[in-house]
């Protein structure tokens, strides 16, 4: 699987299906889908401050609200506290664009990469480095579709990512993936650990979500009067 293996698409519906059933409002039409480049991605960021990912020549806007962005920062803070005591690598944030493969630029909400990937421990100067992180973290929002996240899972692991966390605010849980088809769910009252990627890192799931607003109560159906 490479990004250039994408099938020939003939209409917008097929494009949205290929991208995982996302909203058309997240797909930028200028430049035309299928023709966008990394330079276009950076130009959009410079002009509009909108963060996009590049997928098979198409610019797709990142889906992130204020609460989700704050949660990503908070989780990055918890990881940095660990890294202050265990200096094994460094973090990327929600605007750190990463070239995982040709024509595939993704922006995890948080990423971790070991120092071995940085010569002399110097961070890359280019805006879109060739860098496959060891850990990729995505904070899910309501506009993320199941198809989109499954596509990202396949792309992350095909590129060489070792561990992926999907943080789900509405359910107060973290989905931990060690392969696209190998996962476990860590719930409130349990501890999230870093496995072999972040040895010794643990944090209560409740602490991850302690700043998040309460999720909306489930809607109840009204009984019809007979």
pLDDT tens-digit series, residues 164-219: 999 999 999 999 999 999 999 999 999 999 999 999 999 999 999 998 877 766 66
CATH topology for the 66-208 domain: tt1808, chain A (3.90.1570)
- pLDDT value for 4: 43
CA distance 67 to 54: 24
List CB contacts of 165: < 8 A, sequence separation 6 or more.
135, 136, 137, 138, 174, 175, 176, 177, 192
Check residue 216 and give its pLDDT. Answer: 67
pTM assigned to the model: 0.90
How many Cβ atoms sit within 10 Å of the Cβ of residue 195?
13
**Residue 33: alpha-carbon gap to chain centroid:** 21
For residue 128, give every residue at least 6 positions away whose Cβ sits within 8 Å of its Cβ, in sequence order, or none.
38, 41, 42, 97, 98, 99, 105
Q: What is the pLDDT of residues 69-106, one digit of tens each?
A: 999 999 999 999 999 999 999 999 989 999 999 999 99
**The token pair that represents 170 in the structure block:** 């509405």
CB 27 within 8 A of CB 15: yes
Task: Quote the Cα angle for 93-76-104, to 5°.
Answer: 30
Does position 46 have pLDDT exceeding 70, yes or no? yes
- Which value, in Å, is the radius of gyration of the alpha carbons in the chain? 18
Backbone angles phi, psi at 132, to 5 degrees: -100, 110
Q: How far apart are CA 104 and CA 21, in angstroms?
A: 18
* Residue ranges of domains in the chain: 9-61, 66-208
Q: How far apart are CA 52 and CA 62, in angstroms?
A: 6
* pLDDT attached to residue 160: 98
In this structure, are residues 191 and 204 in contact, taking their beta carbons and an 8 Å threshold? yes
| Residue range 126-158, pLDDT digits in tens | 999 999 999 999 999 989 999 999 999 999 999
Mean pLDDT for the stretch of residues 16-44: 95
Helix (H) or strand (E) holding 5, with range, is none
CB distance 56 to 34 below 8 Å: yes
Q: In what order do the strands lie in the sheet with 89-92?
A: 89-92, 110-114, 135-139, 163-168, 173-179, 182-187
């Amino acid at each position: 699987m490479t990004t250039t293996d994408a099938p020939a698409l003939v209409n917008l519906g097929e494009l949205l299906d290929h991208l995982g059933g996302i909203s058309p409002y997240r797909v930028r039409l200028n430049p035309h889908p299928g023709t966008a480049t990394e330079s276009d991605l950076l130009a959009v960021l410079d002009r509009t401050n909108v963060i996009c990912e590049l997928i098979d020549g198409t610019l797709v806007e990142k889906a992130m609200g204020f609460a989700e962005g704050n949660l990503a920062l908070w989780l990055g803070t918890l990881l940095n506290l660990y890294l202050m005591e265990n200096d094994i690598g460094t973090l990327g944030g929600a605007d750190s664009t990463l070239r995982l493969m040709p024509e595939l630029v993704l922006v995890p909400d948080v990423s971790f990469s070991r120092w071995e990937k940085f010569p002399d421990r110097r961070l890359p100067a280019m805006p879109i480095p060739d860098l496959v992180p060891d850990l990729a973290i995505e904070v899910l929002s309501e506009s993320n579709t199941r198809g989109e996240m499954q596509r990202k899972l396949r792309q992350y692991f095909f590129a060489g990512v070792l561990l992926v966390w999907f943080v789900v605010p509405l359910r107060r849980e973290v989905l931990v993936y060690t392969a696209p088809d190998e996962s476990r769910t860590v719930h409130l009252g349990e501890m999230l650990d870093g496995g072999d990627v972040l040895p010794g890192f643990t944090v209560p799931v409740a602490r991850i979500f302690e700043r998040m607003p309460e999720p909306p109560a489930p809607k109840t159906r009204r009984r019809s009067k007979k």
